[in-house]
Amino acid sequence: MKLKFQLLLVLLFAISCQSTSKSTSSDPAKKDEAAKTQEASKRPKSNDLTPRGVDVAVAPETVAFGSCANQDKPQPIWDIIAKDEPELFIFSGDNVYASTPETKPIGAQYKKLNLIPEFRRFREHIPILATWDDHDYGVNDAGSDNPEKDEARREFLNQWTYVKDSLSKGQKGVYHTKILGGVTKKSPMLQIIMLDTRWFRSPLKKIDDLTNPNKKFGPSDDKKATILGEEQWAWLERQLRKPADVRVVVSSIQFVAEEHGFEKWANFPQEKERFLNLLRRVGPKNLFIISGDRHMGTIAKQDVKGWGTLYDITASGINKFADLGESDKSYIGAPTKTENFGLLKINWAQKKIDIQLRDSANKVLNEVEMKIR
């Protein structure tokens, strides 16, 4: 009798599992939920990790960069980036997505990111520098009026702990800089300037065009409107006057492109011209911009009269990408409409930089070469 009862229990369990399997496979929502559960089960149980610190004594030869990483979705691209053996990775914003009620508190989203196995391995072996954009700032398209910015800043500094030691006393926002190398007169020096395009930014000028949902914002009419704020502008000029052989300016939003209707420096014409005038006045050589935000990869070029050629390389995103059919007269080649990351290959001896956009298969999709003058 006991044996029959045990056999009956086994039969009922098998029927139950089969029923659940059929229900899950026939219901897309349940199938998606099951996939998320399976993915979550693979993640480490502990949020603690030991990030690799930046070696400021050496100017790197290989630097990777990217943006737009949704913590609720897989991020296998980190293992691909690691194969290129970068000595540094630069996160240019939207490092997590925490701009909706269901993605609060922000700190919980960073915990999810740190539990993604590929990211965890990457961060433990490769140093990361970071700034933020709107989604890790807490509110979509937000600027200085963001009511959550103090909390966002606190969580940002908890996640990227090195930034705390990189800020000036009493400084607002998260802008900071690192100079790598230059320990001897003959060793090269790389300067990385991490801008904050959120904390001080004035309100955007919204465009109500129901016929074109991709045209959200236009150029501001307010001549006092700002992106960086006076405090950060003064700091930026001081940084550009420091000695460096190559300079990377990190802006979370695109600088060069002007034709699309989303966030960009061109929404604040006076601020964009102020940056160009700063280049003309100070004259920093071998400077280019890397940016994020756009969920696609682009290389844009602008000839700046009285200074030289300015490149803006957008790498976006780690796992967030879209095809908006977008183009711009400044773009070199077609936009990259898949997962992508950027790679700087700096040949200090031959005085050149190969700037590349690569996909999740590590294939070079677009590139440009800069001479180090």
| Mean pLDDT value across residues 278-290 | 98
CA distance 71 to 39: 12
* Confidence bin at 211 (pLDDT 50/70/90): confident
Shared domain for 29 and 143, answered yes or no, is: no
Q: What is the pLDDT of residues 306-318, one digit of tens each?
A: 999 999 999 999 9
Between the alpha carbon of residue 126 and those of residues 37, 59, 85, 251, 355, the distances in Å are 28, 15, 8, 21, 19
Sheet order of strands, 364-371 included: 128-130, 88-91, 62-66, 340-347, 352-359, 364-371
For residue 46, the model assigns a pLDDT of 56
- For residue 35, is it within any domain? yes
Q: What is the pLDDT of residues 27-77, one digit of tens each?
A: 655 555 655 555 555 555 556 788 999 999 999 999 999 999 999 999 999
Shared domain for 223 and 294, answered yes or no, is: yes
For residue 326, the model assigns a pLDDT of 86
Shared domain for 71 and 144, answered yes or no, is: yes
Q: What is the pLDDT of residues 99-158, one digit of tens each?
A: 999 999 999 999 999 999 999 999 999 999 999 999 999 999 999 999 999 999 999 999
Shared domain for 311 and 246, answered yes or no, is: yes
- For residue 8, is it within any domain? yes
**pLDDT for 180 beyond 50:** yes
**For residues 35 and 281, which has the higher predicted lDDT (pLDDT)?**
281
Shared domain for 249 and 306, answered yes or no, is: yes
Which stretches of 249-363 are DSSP H helices?
Answer: 269-282
**CB hemisphere CA count around 334 (13 angstroms):** 8
% of the chain with per-residue pLDDT over 70: 87
* Confidence bin at 213 (pLDDT 50/70/90): confident
- For residue 47, is it within any domain? no
Shared domain for 21 and 162, answered yes or no, is: no
**Total tally of structural domains belonging to the chain:** 2
Of 59, 81, 74, 132, nearest in space to 357 by CA? 81
Residue 35: which domain range? Answer: 2-41
- For residue 49, is it within any domain? no
Shared domain for 136 and 187, answered yes or no, is: yes
pTM of the model: 0.87
Shared domain for 211 and 348, answered yes or no, is: yes
Phi/psi of residue 88, nearest 5 degrees: -160, 145
- For residue 63, is it within any domain? yes
CA distance 63 to 85: 9
For residue 2, the model assigns a pLDDT of 46
R_g (Cα) of the chain, nearest Å: 23
**pLDDT for 5 beyond 70:** no
| Mean pLDDT value across residues 76-94 | 98
Shared domain for 11 and 65, answered yes or no, is: no
Between the alpha carbon of residue 8 and those of residues 4, 12, 142, 243, 345, the distances in Å are 6, 6, 60, 80, 65
- For residue 339, is it within any domain? yes
**For residues 17 and 51, which has the higher predicted lDDT (pLDDT)?**
51
Shared domain for 149 and 22, answered yes or no, is: no
**pLDDT for 228 beyond 60:** yes
For residue 214, the model assigns a pLDDT of 82
* Confidence bin at 233 (pLDDT 50/70/90): very high
* Confidence bin at 25 (pLDDT 50/70/90): very low
CA distance 71 to 114: 9
Count CB-CB contacts under 10 A for residue 179: 17
Shared domain for 193 and 314, answered yes or no, is: yes
Please, what is the average pLDDT of the chain?
Answer: 91
For residue 209, the model assigns a pLDDT of 79
Count CB-CB contacts under 10 A for residue 4: 8
For residue 198, the model assigns a pLDDT of 98
Reading the block at residue 158, the tokens are 């908890």
For residue 27, the model assigns a pLDDT of 60
Domain containing residue 61: CATH number: 3.60.21.70
- For residue 162, is it within any domain? yes
**pLDDT for 173 beyond 80:** yes
Q: What is the pLDDT of residues 313-340, one digit of tens each?
A: 999 999 999 988 888 999 999 999 999 9
For residue 9, the model assigns a pLDDT of 44
**For residues 208 and 59, which has the higher predicted lDDT (pLDDT)?**
59
- For residue 361, is it within any domain? yes
Shared domain for 31 and 163, answered yes or no, is: no
Reading the block at residue 41, the tokens are 């089960």
